[in-house]
Chain A
Amino acid sequence: MGAGFSSLTLTLNIARVHLFSKPRQTIIAMLGVTFGIGMFIALVGLMTGLNDFTEEITMTSSPDIHIYHDITEARPTILEVVNPTGFNVVHHQKPKNETAKLRSAARMVEVLRQDTRILGVAPMITSQVFFNYGPAQLNGQIQGVEILEEDKLFDLKSKMKDGRLEDLLAFHEGVIMGSGLARKLNVKKGDRVVITTPQGFTRTLKVVGIFQIGIGAVDNIRSYANMSMVQTILQQDKSFITDINIKLKDRHQAKAIAAELQTNFIYKAEDWETANATFLTGVTIRNIITYAVSFTLLIVAGFGIYNILNMTIYNKMKDIAILKAMGFAGSDVRSIFMIQSLVIGLLGGLLGLLVGFTLSSLIAQAPFDGGDVISLDHFPVNFKLKYYITGIVFGVTTTAIAGYMPSRKAAKVDPIEILRGQ
């Protein structure tokens, strides 16, 4: 006959018998891992779900890079220019009388569109306006845009609650309004609103659509109109542009590129991370909490496995001694116990993934009221495969480490001490 019975099969068999001979103990060790990984999956699903949601809404509310003329930016005083080495005191310096206009904006847009790192560029005009609501005047913001360019950057189409973006192109004196603003003004699609510019001119506009981005701070004040119309009501020429929004191919490069653009163009270039710093600090904190809690749970599970294997090895001292006498090497004995801990880790881990998935599904169904600030009706939960793989790898690694120490001890048992008669 061919090959003999393999030694590994024997080792596996002994490990299996050990696991099955004390089922309760095995199950308890497994449940420790299950609990740890289940909680990890549920936590990481919820936390990264929230993170992704936050990132998405910050993305739709602010461009990757926003170039504008920051007239409040500190500038050197005349005194310092004239007398740079002297001891100068200028108290309460005020900005110059200058408009928010970006000079030679058209050329800047040209240059930006040539840049291979940039996906899209949308110039626009932003202005404060009053919306007249009967005798009351509500403060708001009007953005003169090329609406289809804007859509490319912010995916506005998916944010429309009523009407279509194309209606704005068809209707020159139209306006697309944020849902919160529309509610405050009590207007619906097709209604007319009267706006007053800071310069005191009034204009009647027709509401052609309503959008909702999901952040109260935006939905309550913003409205979109045609660029040329806004230029007209502000009594400016066709070259009047106040802002340039940029979408990058990789928005994690925004910080570096923004700094570069700021030096090239003189104007302020703000990246999305800086613009949403308060929002994004939450992301880091949530990540820290998730990994700290999960790590703690898995360590506790690891101690459970360590204890149970230690106990098993103590009880099996005689078996270990006779196996070594009969020709099992230390490494064979170590394998017997390592296999046990890995089986506990793997089965407990897989069960943990299932528990985590179930928990995540339940959390995803739980109603959650985001209030006016963010529009959320359920918890956003992430089901990405990546976290499930992390979970199982993490779990099996922990059990392997927890199992290694007692297994090594078993491998070092001196059979003579145990087998020798009194």
Chain B
Amino acid sequence: MNTVLHARGITKYFYEPDKFQVLKNIELNVERGQFLSLVGKSGCGKSTLMYVLSTMDTDYEGQLQIAGKLLTGKSQNELAKFRNRHIGFVFQFHYLLPEFTVLQNVMIPALKLGELPYAEIEQRAIEKLTLLGMAEHALKKTNKLSGGQQQRVAIARALINNPDVLMGDEPTGNLDSHNSNIVFDIFRELTTVHQQTIIAVTHDEEFARRTDRVVEMSDGKIITH
């Protein structure tokens, strides 16, 4: 339908220990609602690409557009604001803030965005937790949850501002197969029912095979897509 993410001619070098071209002229378009997995051997550059696409890494050549907005050359502060509004993140580890409750953790990105009153944010956070089957744990401290539950809370947090793209760096990398399946099913549902765009870097072939589109990288280039 419409393109959410548009990357053109992305090239990146590492300078330590020696100069090394890690991304070679990458072209990538991602459609809204697409569930895309980014695969490849270790060191092929797939994580590096994802961090460029995430706007956190700004040291690259080429152009990046997300949600129709050109992000190349923007300041760190503008990019931080953009991520807050348009991108959700799920990592291998949950990175929940240990001093806050589940509900507060989910609310933080929306509180940061500051577009809604507190009560509405709370309401929305509970909706997201319900969607992930975690509503009953809302008032617990995050360290009282199991690894799978923590990852689901992290997903709820990533979704709180209804982002255009959800990005995952090995989102199931630290989970057993049971919990991996739960997370996969949640992603599946998000893309089909809620038209959520997902880009996930993964090592898990099983996971990748079941996504809409597999982009395989090797040696800094996209070889199949």
CA A338 – CA B167 in complex, angstroms?
A: 31
In the complex, how many residue pairs between chain A and chain B have their CB atoms under 8 Å apart? Answer: 93
Per-position 1/0 for B168-192, Cβ under 8 A of A: 0110010000000000000000000
Per-position 1/0 for A1-43, Cβ under 8 A of B: 1111111011000100110010000000000000000000000
Contact A420 B47 (CB under 8 A): yes
Contact A324 B80 (CB under 8 A): yes
Which residues in A have some Cβ–Cβ distance to B below 8 Å? 1-7, 9-10, 14, 17-18, 21, 318-319, 321-332, 415-416, 419-421
Q: Which residues of A contact B76 (CB under 8 A)?
A: 329-330
Q: Which residues of B contact A21 (CB under 8 A)?
A: 99
CB contact under 8 A between A2 and B111, given known A325-B83, A325-B89, A329-B80: no
CB distance from B66 to the nearest CB of A (A): 14
Q: Which residues of A contact B109 (CB under 8 A)?
A: 326-327
Contact A421 B117 (CB under 8 A): no
Q: Which single member of A2, A18, A321, A330 contacts B99 (CB below 8 Å)?
A: A18
Contact B84 A326 (CB under 8 A): yes
Contact A421 B92 (CB under 8 A): yes
Chain B, 51-74, CB within 8 A of any chain A CB: 51, 54, 56-57
CA A321 – CA B89 in complex, angstroms?
A: 12
Q: Which single member of B77, B110, B114, B157 contacts A6 (CB below 8 Å)?
A: B114
Q: Which residues of A contact B114 (CB under 8 A)?
A: 4-7, 10
Contact B85 A327 (CB under 8 A): yes
Contact B108 A10 (CB under 8 A): yes
Contact A326 B57 (CB under 8 A): no
Q: Which of B51, B95, B117 is the most central at the interface, judged by chain A CB atoms within 10 Å of its CB?
A: B95
CA A64 – CA B217 in complex, angstroms?
A: 91
Q: How many residues of B contact A (CB 8 A)?
A: 38
Instruction: State whether the Cβ of B97 lies closer than 8 Å to any Cβ in chain A.
Output: yes
CB contact under 8 A between A7 and B77, given known A325-B83, A420-B169: no
Closest to A316 in B: B97
Enumerate 6 A-B pairs (CB-CB under 8 Å) in ascending A order. Answer: A6-B114, A7-B111, A332-B80, A332-B112, A416-B56, A419-B91
Instruction: State whether the Cβ of B207 lies closer than 8 Å to any Cβ in chain A.
Output: no
Q: What 7 pairs across the A-B complex have the smallest Cβ distances?
A: A327-B84, A322-B95, A4-B114, A421-B92, A329-B80, A10-B111, A1-B117
Closest to A20 in B: B99
CB contact under 8 A between A4 and B84, given known A18-B99, A327-B109, A421-B91: no
Chain B, 169-223, CB within 8 A of any chain A CB: 169-170, 173
Contact B116 A4 (CB under 8 A): yes
CB contact under 8 A between A10 and B77, given known A321-B95, A326-B89, A420-B51: no
Q: Which single member of A2, A3, A326, A421 contacts B83 (CB below 8 Å)?
A: A326
Contact B99 A327 (CB under 8 A): no
Apart from A325-B54, A326-B109, A421-B170, list 20 A-B contacts with CB within 8 A. Answer: A1-B117, A5-B117, A10-B111, A21-B99, A322-B91, A322-B95, A326-B108, A327-B81, A327-B84, A327-B85, A327-B113, A328-B84, A329-B80, A329-B81, A332-B80, A416-B56, A420-B51, A420-B169, A421-B169, A421-B173
